């Protein structure tokens, strides 16, 4: 039993190293896509939101029996709830997978903000951010909905072969994507409003093009 625990601990440490490498790789790809350190960090900000949603989903899916809760003083309930969650390798794989999945919403929104400013020549303002968010709401919701539909068989596939791996993985992915998709609509516009103005300058080439079109 001690050997199994040691092996699982080593596997967890390796997965944490893989997660760190994934974060670095995703950041470099984002830097190439959005061409700004600030914008890349704003996209990476989706990862903590997804992790929060995944943890909440795990707490709900692994809640202790109601009889155990009612037989214990209410101030011990959080401890019982946390103790009922045992992170397996499948959970860690789900967290690593979330790093890449949840970045797509931020890319869709921030790249569209930049398009409105740099290509269409719309000045940086709260109205521009609201417009960009509304224009990207449908694509974000469509991609999230298709992902949620694909996870339904894994979420409710109790008793099927491989459920020990697939079900924990699907719980992490579902909770993380749900939280990221929901909170991202508030956090990403707010972050871009606070820190996105330096990238909001319209280039001289774009200005000349717009002036030529207007004349």
Residues 6+ apart with CB under 8 A from 109: 132, 133, 136, 140, 184, 188, 189, 192
Per-residue pLDDT tens over the stretch 82-94: 666 677 778 888 8
Residues 2-214: name the CATH superfamily.
Multidrug efflux transporter AcrB transmembrane domain (1.20.1640.10)
Rounded CA gap, 18 and 21, in Å?
5
Can you give the pLDDT at residue 206? 40
More confident residue, 155 or 127: 127
More confident residue, 4 or 30: 30
pLDDT band for 199, please (50, 70, 90 cuts).
very low
Specify the residue for token string 């997965």.
15
Rounded to 10 deg, the angle between the 163-195 and 103-118 helix axes is 30
Can you give the pLDDT at residue 70? 61
Per-residue pLDDT tens over the stretch 106-120: 888 888 998 898 888
Per-residue pLDDT tens over the stretch 36-80: 888 888 888 888 889 899 988 888 887 766 666 566 665 555 665
Rounded CA gap, 199 and 114, in Å?
7
């Amino acid at each position: 039993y001690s050997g199994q625990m040691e092996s699982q601990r080593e596997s967890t440490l390796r997965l944490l190293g893989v997660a760190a490498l994934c974060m670095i790789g995703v950041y470099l790809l984002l830097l190439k896509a959005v061409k700004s350190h600030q914008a890349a960090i704003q996209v990476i900000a989706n990862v903590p939101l997804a992790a929060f949603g995944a943890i909440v989903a795990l707490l709900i899916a692994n809640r202790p029996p109601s009889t155990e809760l009612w037989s214990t003083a209410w101030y011990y309930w959080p401890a019982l709830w946390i103790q009922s969650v045992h992170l397996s390798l499948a959970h860690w794989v789900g967290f690593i997978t979330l790093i890449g999945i949840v970045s797509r919403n931020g890319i869709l929104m921030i790249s569209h903000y930049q398009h409105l400013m740099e290509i269409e020549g719309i000045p940086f303002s709260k109205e521009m951010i609201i417009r960009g968010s509304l224009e990207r709401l449908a694509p974000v919701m469509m991609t999230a909905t298709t992902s949620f539909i694909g996870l339904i068989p894994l979420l409710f596939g109790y008793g099927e072969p491989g459920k020990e791996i697939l079900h924990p993985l699907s719980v992490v992915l579902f909770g993380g994507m749900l939280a990221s998709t929901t909170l991202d609509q508030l956090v990403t516009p707010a972050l871009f409003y606070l820190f996105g103005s330096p990238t909001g300058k319209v280039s001289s080439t774009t200005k000349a093009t717009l002036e030529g079109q207007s004349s």
